[in-house]
Amino acid sequence: MQSVQATAKAVGLPYGVRGILPILLAIPVIGLAQWLLGGLPFVVYIASIVGVNLILAVSLNIVNGMTGQFSIGHAGFMAVGAYTAGKFSLHAKDLVISHLPAAMSDQVLFLFALLIGGCTAALCGFIVGLPSLRLRGDYLAIVTLGFGEIIRVILQSTEAFGRALGLAGIPQWSSLFMVWIWAFITVLAARRIAGSSHGRSLWAIREDEVAAEAMGVDTTSYKVRAFVVSSFFAGIAGGLFAHFVPIINPGSFTFVKSIEVVVMVVAGGLGSTTGAIVASIFLTLLPEALRSAFTAISGNAEIAQRVDQIRMPIYGLLLVTLMLVRPQGLFGNRELWDVIPRWIPRRRRAA
Amino acid sequence: MADFLQHIINGIATGTIYALVALGYTMVYGVLKLINFAHGDVMMVGAYVGYATALKMGPGTRTSFLGAVVVFLMSMACCAILGFLIERLAYRPLREKPRLTSLITAIGISFTLEYGFQLDIGFLPGAAPRAFPEIIVPTEWLIIGDRDVVLWNWQVLSFAIAVALMLVLQYLVFKTRFGRAMRAVSFDHRIAALMGIPTDRVIAITFMLGSGLAAGAGILYAIKDTIVQPLMGLYVGLKAFVAAVIGGIGHVPGAMVGALLLGLVEEFVVGYTSSTWRDAVAFGFLILVLLLRPEGLFGRVTAEKV
C-alpha cells in the first residue's frame, strides 16, 4: 500500500482520491476478470468460493493474527450475515428501485442486503466481544465456539429461518465482480488497520497484553473493536455466500467451517494478511483440483468423493504437522513481500 | 412430579458420563494448562474399542460380568496408550512454545480422529452409526408407580462407576507420592523439575489416566445411546469441558459437581422446552458462569504473573 500511496503523492492527487485509489485501480481489473470469465459458471462458482474464504481468512486474521486472540466461532458470524442478507433479499427480490434498470436495481438491493448482513454480524461481534474479551486465551476460544454453536442452534430451531432446511430461493445476485471487490476491500481494510496506530495497539496486545495495558492501551476496547471489524467482514462473506449457493442451511456454518478458516489463518501465518490470502486460495483450490484431477484420471465420481472425504483428516494432520514443524505458519507475521527476497539467492540479488 | 423425578434421574445419568470425561479435562488442564480438545475424541475411540472387543467376544461372553469387565479394561488400556501417544507426539514437542500452538495442535488431533474414523478404509469404521452390542442387559432397577419413573440398572452402574473412579482419583491426587508430584507439576512444572520430579513422566501418566477415564465414559455413553458413531465425542467433549470450567478447572470434585449440574440443567431445559436446544444450553450456561464467576464454582482466583 505504501507504494500506491507514494505513487499517488508523487502524481499529486488530492487527498480524498489518494485514499480510494487502490479501489479505483481494482475496479477495472476485477471488471475485466468478470468480463473474461463470466461465461464459465463453474469457474465463477469456484472463484466465488475462493473469494468468500479469502474474506473469512483475512478478517479472522485481524482477531487471531494481529490481536493474538483465539476465536473459533467465525462461522457463526458468517451465518448471521448469510441469514440476515438472505432474508432481506427474499423479501426484496420483487422490488425494483424506480429510475434504475432492473439489473442495476438488483445490485443496489444486493449491496444493501450485504451491508445489513455485515452490520448485524458486527453487532453480534460487539455483543459477544464486550463481555467475553475480558477472558483470556483458552476461555475466549471456548466462548466463541459456544457462541457459534448457539447461533447454529437458534437458526436450526427458528421457523422464520427455515429450521434445518434453511433458506431457499434467495435471488442469485452475486457475481465474480461483487465477491472480489469485497475481497479486495477486506484486504485493503486489514492492511490499513495493520499499518495504523490502531493496528500498532493490536500488535502490542498480541505481543504482551499486560505490557500493552501498562503502556496505556485500552486492551478490552481495542480487542472488541478488532472483533467487530472482523465479524463485519465475516457477515459480508456470509451475505455473498448466500447469494450464489442455491440454498443456505445451518449445516454450512458448523464448527467445521470455523476450523477450516482457522487452519487457513494459521497455515498462512498468524498476523500475515498475504499469508491468509495465499493459504485461503491454496486450501480452497486444493481439494477442488484433486477432485477434478481424480475424476479426469479415473473417469468416475466415486474416487473423487473419496478424496473429498479424506480432506478433513488431512486438514487435521496438516494442522498438527504445521504446528510441530513451523509453528509460526508459512510467512510468520511477515508479509509476502518481506519473505520473497529471502528466497532469491544472495548472488543474484547482488547482481 | 413423576416427570420431575424422571428428569432428575436422566440428568444425573448424563451428568455422570460428563463427569468422567470432565475429570480427564480437569487433570490435563491442571498439569499442562492445556485444553485437550481431542479428549472427547479419545472417548469416542474408547467406545469403538469397546464395540470391537464386545463383538469379538460373542453374545454369551460379553453379557457376563467378567466379559463386561474385560470390555472396559481393554478399551481403557487402548485409550491410555492413545493418550500417551498423543501427548508424546503432539503436545510434548510444543510444551515450551506459546499455549496457542498446543491448542491448535489439539484441534488438529481432534479433527484427525473424528474424520479419520469416518473413512471406511482398512479397519476404520466409516461414518454410519453402529449399534453397540449389549454388554449390560438393560433392566429396570427401580420402578415407581405405573412406570412413571424408571431407574435403569446402567444408570445406577454408571453413577457408581463415576463416583468410585472419582474417589480413587481423589485418593491418588492427595494421598500418594505420584499425586504430590502431579500437584507440584501443576503448580509450576519448571520448579518441579528442579526439585527432581520427572515432569515428563508425570504428565504422560496424567494423560493416560485421563484417557482411560474417557474410555470408560465412552462405553457408558455407548450403552446409554445404544450406538457408536465417529462424532459422538465432539459434543460430549465440549460439554465435559464446559462442566470442568463450571466446577473450576483443575479441581477434581469441582468437575464432578459441574458435570452433574450441567447434566441436570440440560435435561430440564430439554425436558420442558424442546430437544433442539440441547446443544445450546451447555454453552449458554458456560457463558453465564464465565461472566459471573470466571474461576468457576470451586476455582481459586489467580493473579496474572508478569
pLDDT, tens digit (0-9, with 9 covering 90-100), for B40-81 = 999 999 999 999 888 888 777 777 778 888 888 999 999 999
Does the structure show a pLDDT above 60 at A10? no
Interface residue B35 vs chain A (CB under 8 A)? yes
Does the structure show a pLDDT above 70 at A303? no
In a domain, B11, yes or no: yes
DSSP label at A66?
I
Tell me the average pLDDT across B111-117: 87
Q: What is the CATH number of the domain that holds B272?
A: 1.10.3470
**Of the candidates A73, A60, A51, A78, the residue with the CA atom closest to the CA atom of residue A264:** A60
Interface residue A262 vs chain B (CB under 8 A)? yes
CA atoms of A128 and A224, how far apart (whole Å): 9
Does the structure show a pLDDT above 70 at B87? yes
Highest mean pLDDT among A235-239, A263-267, B237-241: A235-239
Interface test with A, best of B28, B33, B103, B104 (most A CBs within 10 A): B104
Does the structure show a pLDDT above 60 at B154? yes
Beta bridge partners of residue A168, listed in sequence order: A247
CA atoms of A28 and A188, how far apart (whole Å): 16
Does the structure show a pLDDT above 60 at A348? no
Nearest to B111 among A68, A141, A312 (CB): A312
Question: For residues A250 and A156, is the Cβ–Cβ distance under 8 A?
Answer: yes
**Of the candidates B189, B198, B214, B220, the residue with the CA atom closest to the CA atom of residue B34:** B189
Specify the pLDDT at position B48.
Answer: 92
CA atoms of B19 and B225, how far apart (whole Å): 17
Interface residue B105 vs chain A (CB under 8 A)? yes
* Structure confidence at residue A9 as a pLDDT band (50, 70, 90): low
* Number of domains chain B is built from: 1
B132 versus A292: the higher-pLDDT residue is: B132
Give A73 to chain B, closest Cα distance, Å.
Answer: 12
In a domain, B67, yes or no: yes
Does the structure show a pLDDT above 70 at B144? yes
- Say yes or no for a CB contact (<8 Å) between B286 and A143: yes
C-alpha pair distances (Å), A346 with each of A269, A335, A337: 24, 20, 16
Q: What are phi and psi of B274, to 5 degrees?
A: -145, 150
C-alpha pair distances (Å), B124 with each of B52, B84, B118, B177: 11, 21, 7, 40
CA atoms of A283 and A281, how far apart (whole Å): 6
In chain A, residues 7-66 whose CB comes closer than 8 Å to chain B: none
Tell me the average pLDDT across B181-194: 88
Mean pLDDT, chain B, integer: 84
Find the residue in A nearest to B118 (Cα): A309
Classify residue B49 as exposed, middle or buried by CB count within 10 Å of its CB (0-12, 13-18, 19+).
buried
B299: number of Cβ within 10 Å: 17
Does the structure show a pLDDT above 80 at A149? yes
In a domain, B305, yes or no: no
C-alpha cell recorded at residue A319: 494442522
CA atoms of B231 and B114, how far apart (whole Å): 6
Specify the pLDDT at position A1.
Answer: 47
Specify the pLDDT at position B44.
Answer: 93
Helix axes B39-62, B232-247, angle to 10 degrees: 120
Find the residue in B nearest to A151 (Cα): B280
CA atoms of B50 and B149, how far apart (whole Å): 30
Q: What are phi and psi of A248, to 5 degrees?
A: -115, 135
Domain that holds residue B175: 2-292
* Structure confidence at residue B302 as a pLDDT band (50, 70, 90): low
Q: What are phi and psi of B134, to 5 degrees?
A: -70, 110
CA atoms of A238 and A255, how far apart (whole Å): 15
CA atoms of B122 and B127, how far apart (whole Å): 13
Helices (H), chain B: 2-32, 39-62, 65-86, 99-116, 153-175, 177-187, 189-194, 199-225, 232-247, 252-272, 278-292
CA atoms of B242 and A303, how far apart (whole Å): 39
Nearest to B105 among A131, A210, A320 (CB): A320
Interface residue A251 vs chain B (CB under 8 A)? no
- Could you give the angle at the alpha carbon of B261 between the alpha carbons of B256 and B267, nearest 5°? 125
Give A253 to chain B, closest Cα distance, Å.
Answer: 15
Interface test with B, best of A150, A208, A260, A307 (most B CBs within 10 A): A150
Residues from chain B contacting residue A310 (CB–CB below 8 Å): 119
Classify residue B140 as exposed, middle or buried by CB count within 10 Å of its CB (0-12, 13-18, 19+).
exposed
In a domain, B64, yes or no: yes
Does the structure show a pLDDT above 70 at B304? no
Question: For residues A49 and A291, is the Cβ–Cβ distance under 8 A?
Answer: no
Map out the domains of chain A with their CATH numbers. Answer: 1-37 (no CATH), 38-350 (1.10.3470)
- Taking only the tens place, the pLDDT of each residue in B60-71 is 777 777 888 888
CA atoms of A320 and B107, how far apart (whole Å): 8
Find the residue in B nearest to A155 (Cα): B276
Q: Beta strand pairing status for B149-152 and B140-144?
A: antiparallel
End-to-end Cα spacing for chain A: 27
Classify residue A9 as exposed, middle or buried by CB count within 10 Å of its CB (0-12, 13-18, 19+).
exposed
Question: For residues A20 and A185, is the Cβ–Cβ distance under 8 A?
Answer: no
CA atoms of A219 and A211, how far apart (whole Å): 10
In a domain, B71, yes or no: yes
DSSP label at A84?
H
In a domain, B47, yes or no: yes
Q: How many pairs of residues across A and B have Cβ atoms under 8 Å apart? A: 120
The SS3 of residue A168 is strand
In a domain, B302, yes or no: no
Nearest to A316 among B115, B276, B282 (CB): B115
Interface residue B91 vs chain A (CB under 8 A)? no
* Structure confidence at residue A351 as a pLDDT band (50, 70, 90): very low
- Say yes or no for a CB contact (<8 Å) between A327 and B291: no
**Of the candidates A261, A217, A318, the residue with the CA atom closest to the CA atom of residue A63:** A261
Q: What are phi and psi of A81, to 5 degrees?
A: -60, -45
Residue located via cell numbers 469441558: B241
Does the structure show a pLDDT above 70 at B104? yes
Find the residue in A nearest to B303 (Cα): A210
Nearest to A153 among B277, B291, B306 (CB): B277
Mean pLDDT, chain A, integer: 82
Minimum mean pLDDT among B116-125, B200-209, B264-273: which range?
Answer: B116-125
DSSP label at B303?
P
B152: number of Cβ within 10 Å: 19
Question: For residues A219 and A213, is the Cβ–Cβ distance under 8 A?
Answer: yes
* Structure confidence at residue B149 as a pLDDT band (50, 70, 90): confident
Specify the pLDDT at position A54.
Answer: 95
Does the structure show a pLDDT above 50 at A224? yes
- Say yes or no for a CB contact (<8 Å) between B290 and A320: no
The whole-model pTM stands at: 0.83
Residue located via cell numbers 477434478: A292
Residues from chain B contacting residue A316 (CB–CB below 8 Å): 107-116
- Say yes or no for a CB contact (<8 Å) between A145 and B238: yes
Percent of chain A predicted with pLDDT > 90 = 22
Question: For residues B271 and A138, is the Cβ–Cβ distance under 8 A?
Answer: no
Minimum mean pLDDT among A56-70, A219-233, B129-143: which range?
Answer: B129-143
One-letter amino acid of A148: G
In chain A, residues 310-329 whose CB comes closer than 8 Å to chain B: 310, 312-313, 315-320, 323-324, 327
* Structure confidence at residue B173 as a pLDDT band (50, 70, 90): confident
Tell me the average pLDDT across B127-144: 79
Interface residue B208 vs chain A (CB under 8 A)? no
Residues from chain B contacting residue A266 (CB–CB below 8 Å): 104
Residue A289's region, left for phi above 0, alpha for psi from -120 to 50, else beta, is alpha
Specify the pLDDT at position A239.
Answer: 93
CA atoms of B91 and B102, how far apart (whole Å): 6
Report CA torsion sign: A200, A206, A212, A218: positive
Specify the pLDDT at position A344.
Answer: 66
Specify the pLDDT at position A122.
Answer: 95
